[in-house]
Chain A
Amino acid sequence: MSDTPVEEMTFEQAMAELEQVVGQLERGDVALDDSIKLYERGAALKKRCEKKLKEAEEKVAAITTDGDGNATGTKPVEGM
């Protein structure tokens, strides 16, 4: 298990660890107590992944710049 709390994991990290947890559980070579802990960890990882997948929000904005080409803000982009 990585040290990163599940809540701070990227989708990729959570995904990789979830695969590992499922693999471990399926091999069935973990003690019963550990397998329940693993299951709980797996459930948390799955929740994290689901959350990241739900954040599928589309928002398109264009940068506005000043005379020197520095970014000053954004304006929404419509109609694409």
Chain B
Amino acid sequence: MSDLIDDAAPGMNAPEFSVTEISGAIKRMIEGEFSHVRIKGEVGRVSRPRSGHIYLDLKDDRAVISGVIWKGVSARLATQPEEGMEVVATGRLTTFPGQSKYQIVIEDIKPAGVGALMAMLEKRKKMLEAEGLFAPEHKRPIPYLPEIIGVVTSPSGAVIRDILHRLRDRFPRKVLIWPVAVQGERCAPEVAAAIRGFNALTPGGALPRPDLLIVARGGGSIEDLWGFNEEVVARAAAESDIPLISAVGHETDTTLIDYVSDRRAPTPTAAAEMAVPVRLELLAWLDGQGGRLVQSLAGGISQRGQRLRDLSRALPRAEALVEGPRQRLDTWGDRLPVALERGVQRRRVALSEVSSGLQISGLRRSLRNEKMRVEQMGARLSPALLRGVGWKAERVAAVKLSPRMIERDITDKKQRVADMFRRLSEAGARQILELEKRLEATDRLRETLSYKATLARGYAVVRGDAGVVTTKAEAASATGLEIEFADGRMKIGAGRKNAPSKPKPPEQGSLF
């Protein structure tokens, strides 16, 4: 109440707020004014703590506003915010009085515009490609003639009509349609669930499992087709065990599912064409095969028949084959008995010829002849011997042995011995004479060389205990010395007991 008493200065009548009061007032005002706003901007720093809430900044070139996405909301988001993404965030503003801050509580966040969408798609594509989801070895072959075709598309609209129409034209099949939303938020989860749902069916069950899937949608804007760019759809298609043909949009639109599907059809009609062959063509082909089958068998048989006939014509008659040999047999057969008789006859003649010469009288005659020859030879034997002895005796008598010849030989040899002897004595005497002369000459030479001649010129030879002394030291140590002069020897000092042997002058060895 004191406020009322205070004398307020002019201009100071504005009410005073406490911090809490003003913060509360701001909060009420902001939350009231901005309870539903859409903010376009670039996502700045994003943080995702364990709590599951997402904290992020929205910014443009001049300002920044903090934002939060509560856990429950973030799980529902079709697009997760990433730094650098252009987005439109929808939510309400709130303040945080404890820190004098305000922020936006985001309830939905979407990429802003086509550029942002394409950038995100490109990023997603790279990620899936890196995982190998687009690899050619992942692609399964499309069955040639599927029994049941599962179609994932909108149950109403031109697409399913086109597909069924084209199937009917080519090859009517059983078709199971899994109705899905083909645009909007429900599109991606429904399409993914449908692909997984078809795969979960058991073959031949109450709900038979298709052996081919077609995921189809007609043309539309990129936003319309966006559901087929979602990761969840691409992954479901990649995981599908059933071969899958994608046919989304027009030929020029390529969505993420087209990269992971086993075949991509430019249009839903084209997908139906890929799915089944043309029945009428197959019937025609089958007729053709049947015809060729019959024809080739018949042809094979008739060809063999022809060949058999040809060969049998070329085969000679059996009679012709044996005619020649038979004739030869007959000829030789006829000649056989005759030949035998003739052979026997020929041998008989030869035998009789041989045996005719074989008679006893012939033998006797030849014995007599031999005996006569022996007797003749015997008669000549004795005179021949005598004659031989006589001839040898004559030759013995012809040889004469005379002693005179030996005597002459002896005389002759005696003469030669005496001669030799004489020459030997002469040679001996001559050699002795010559040697005597040489001895004399040598002796003379010896005399001139002897030391004795030196003694005559005044030199002397001193001998000690052990022969000739040549040094003073030897002479001093000797017990006695002997001096030889030209005419004799003289002893000095105590001589040795035994007479010193007279040194032998060098002598010429005996000649004899």
Interface residues of A (CB under 8 A from B): 10-12, 15, 18-19, 21-22, 25-26, 28, 32, 35-36, 39, 42-43, 46, 49-50, 52-53, 56-63, 65, 69-71, 73-74, 77, 80
Contact = CB atoms under 8 A, between A and B. Distances in A.
A60 B289 contact: no
B293 A62 contact: no
B145 A36 contact: no
Given A63-B207, A77-B155, 11 more contacts: A10-B145, A11-B282, A18-B286, A18-B293, A39-B293, A58-B167, A58-B174, A61-B175, A63-B194, A70-B197, A71-B197
A68 to B, nearest CB: 9
Contacts of B285: 15
Given A63-B207, A73-B207, A46 B197 contact: no
A50 B164 contact: no
Given A35-B297, A63-B197, A46 B178 contact: no
B485 interface: no
Contact of B177 (A19, A39, A60): A60
A50 B161 contact: no
Contacts of B297: 25, 35-36, 39
17 contacts: A11-B144, A18-B286, A18-B293, A25-B293, A25-B297, A28-B303, A42-B289, A46-B289, A46-B293, A49-B282, A49-B289, A50-B286, A62-B176, A62-B179, A63-B177, A63-B178, A63-B179
B184 interface: no
A10 B277 CA distance: 14
B70 interface: no
Contact of B145 (A11, A57, A59, A62): A11
B272 to A, nearest CB: 12
A46 B300 contact: no
Contacts of A22: 289, 292-293, 296
A69 B193 contact: yes
B9 to A, nearest CB: 71
B348 interface: no
A60 to B, nearest CB: 5
Interface string B297-322: 10111011000000000000000000
Contacts, number: 111
B190 to A, nearest CB: 7
A12 B285 CA distance: 13
Contact of A71 (B165, B207, B300): B207
B178 A53 contact: no
B171 interface: yes
Nearest to A69: B193
B290 A46 contact: yes
Nearest to A64: B179
A53 B283 contact: yes
Given A21-B293, A53-B286, A80 B160 contact: yes
A79 to B, nearest CB: 10
Given A22-B292, A52-B145, A71-B207, A57 B197 contact: no
B166 to A, nearest CB: 12
A35 B293 CA distance: 10
Interface residues of B, number: 42
A21 B179 CA distance: 44
Contacts of A11: 144-145, 282
A35 B143 CA distance: 31
Nearest to B201: A71
Contacts of A57: 172-174
A12 B143 contact: yes
A34 B56 CA distance: 80
From B177, B297, B299, residue with most partner A Cβ within 10 Å: B297
Contact of B293 (A32, A42, A56, A63): A42
A65 to B, nearest CB: 7
Contacts of A12: 143-145
Contacts of B165: 80
B454 to A, nearest CB: 141
A53 B147 CA distance: 11
B197 A32 contact: no
Contacts of B496: none
Nearest to A77: B177
A32 B172 CA distance: 41
B229 to A, nearest CB: 21
A63 B198 CA distance: 10
A23 B172 CA distance: 30
B133 to A, nearest CB: 23
B28 interface: no
B178 A60 contact: no
Nearest to B207: A71
B193 A32 contact: no
B168 A74 contact: no
B438 interface: no
Contact of A69 (B145, B161, B197): B197
Contacts of B200: 71
A7 B207 CA distance: 24
B71 interface: no
